[in-house]
Amino acid sequence: MDEEKTIERLIFHVDVNSAYLSWESVKRLSEGGEDLRLIPSAVGGDPAKRTGIILAKSIPAKKYGVTTGEPVSMALQKCPGLVLVRPSFGLYERNSKAFMSICRKYAPVMQKFSVDECFLDMTGTSLIYPDPIALAHQIKDEIRDTLGFTVNIGIGSNRLLAKMASDFEKPDKVHTLFTHEIQEKMWPLPVGDLLFVGKMSTARLQEAGIMTIGALATAPVGKIQGILGEKGGLAAWESANGIDDSPVSEEREDAKGYSVSTTLEEDVTSLEKAKHVLLALADSVARRMRADGAKTNCVAVDIRLSKLKNSSGNTPSSRFTNKSRQRKLDAPTDVTDEIYETAVTLFQELWRGEPLRLLGIALSDVTREEYEQVSLFQDEKHERARKLDAAMDKIRGRFGSDAVFRGGAADAGRIGQKFKTRAEDEQE
């Protein structure tokens, strides 16, 4: 009896090219403005005060040495003519949902990996889509022609290879990296290009004379473990050999919950920067919830770490690690300040200073009941915060989501209560 044949996996990785810049550019072009992707520009911070950090930069800005995660003031020193745009997480979320909606039409299983990337499991679809490369071009072109921004699509035998392939030449490209193409396409690349191998691991490998992914793949696994540690070394060696059996898991948003997350192009290692992002996320997700007339009884924070330390505290792993923590509230709330403060507390319980790649906030156990449990100590701070939210929501409803913004969370655990309107700001 012939052995049953195993169907080879077929995975797509769809990645938006320069997501934040692209989405801001599409918005500007629709309003008759210029294309930020073609000029030195960046998303992040406050252009007037020159504060905050760079969340994303254009290719022309990169040529000036502008990097993601650096202070706005430093970026402006490198490129005085840099065009700065404040982040608009509501805009990013809408575009994220739009391109993933197109992807979902074609894929039996789709998994959101971050706000600007997702995996599609196309395994077993050969009778419907006999040419996967042609299908990838069809998806890519539909996103570009319908939504106005471009994506790269990587096609591979697993998630690792598909994601590696999507990082090849950009923008608006389709690339393959199947198992039989690993030696030709992946092994000649610098070892630092290997997915999940961070800067510290790269430096240690290079010090040991391992300069390419191929050199890592063909080295004895024990040697790599001696350099990167038992767990991290095995993970790096398996990645270099294209070994990855992780599934693409459908993640449907809970109809009774609200969530938002963002992935930075480069790691964040500062608590102040992390709080800045958490505040923007809390503001975005709380506003959506209030628009539905809902309140949350539970707040959760999700983080993705680029590298973890082992028990000795000095050996980074080569894979991302996800962590989350949630907390039940004493009473349901829709107040941004209260959600933010809870999120900061949870974040500080989770985080030990490792480089951060993703931050997210999820609100669950949602209620739409009208009553509110009032404490004897229901303070003026709570009422001021509610009035602030109401005022901001009203302004945004009239002038748009970018017409008002919150101050940064500079002081430990506290958020600024000041805001200012920007209804006619041509930069947005």
pLDDT digits (tens, 9 = 90+) for 217-274: 999 999 999 999 988 899 999 999 999 988 888 755 444 678 877 776 577 888 988 8
The predicted-structure confidence for 299-332, as pLDDT tens digits, reads as follows: 999 998 875 455 555 544 445 688 889 999 888 8
Query: Quick one: tokens of 358?
Result: 């993703």
**Closest of 300, 112, 308, 336 to residue 228, by C-alpha:** 308
Kind of pairing, strands 41-43 and 83-85?
A: parallel
Its pTM stands at 0.62
For residues 4-28, average pLDDT = 86
**Closest of 256, 255, 249 to residue 108, by C-alpha:** 249
For residues 59-77, average pLDDT = 88
Cα gap 368→363, rounded to integer Å:
13
Predicted confidence (pLDDT) at residue 376 exceeds the cutoff of 60: no
Domains of the chain as residue ranges with CATH: 1-186 (3.30.70.270), 195-240 (no CATH), 258-421 (3.30.1490.100)
**Closest of 11, 39, 14 to residue 25, by C-alpha:** 39
Q: Which residues have C-beta within 8 Å of that of residue 388, sequence separation ≥ 6? A: 336, 337, 417, 419
Cβ 89 vs Cβ 259: under 8 Å: no
Give the H/E segment covering residue 137.
Answer: helix 132-147
Examine the residue annotation and report whether 251 is marked as an active-site residue of this protein.
no
Query: Given 93, 117, 238, 341, which residue is catalytic?
Result: 117
Q: What is the mean pLDDT of the chain?
A: 81
φ, ψ of residue 179 in degrees (nearest 5): -55, -40
Query: Quick one: tokens of 183?
Result: 């030696």
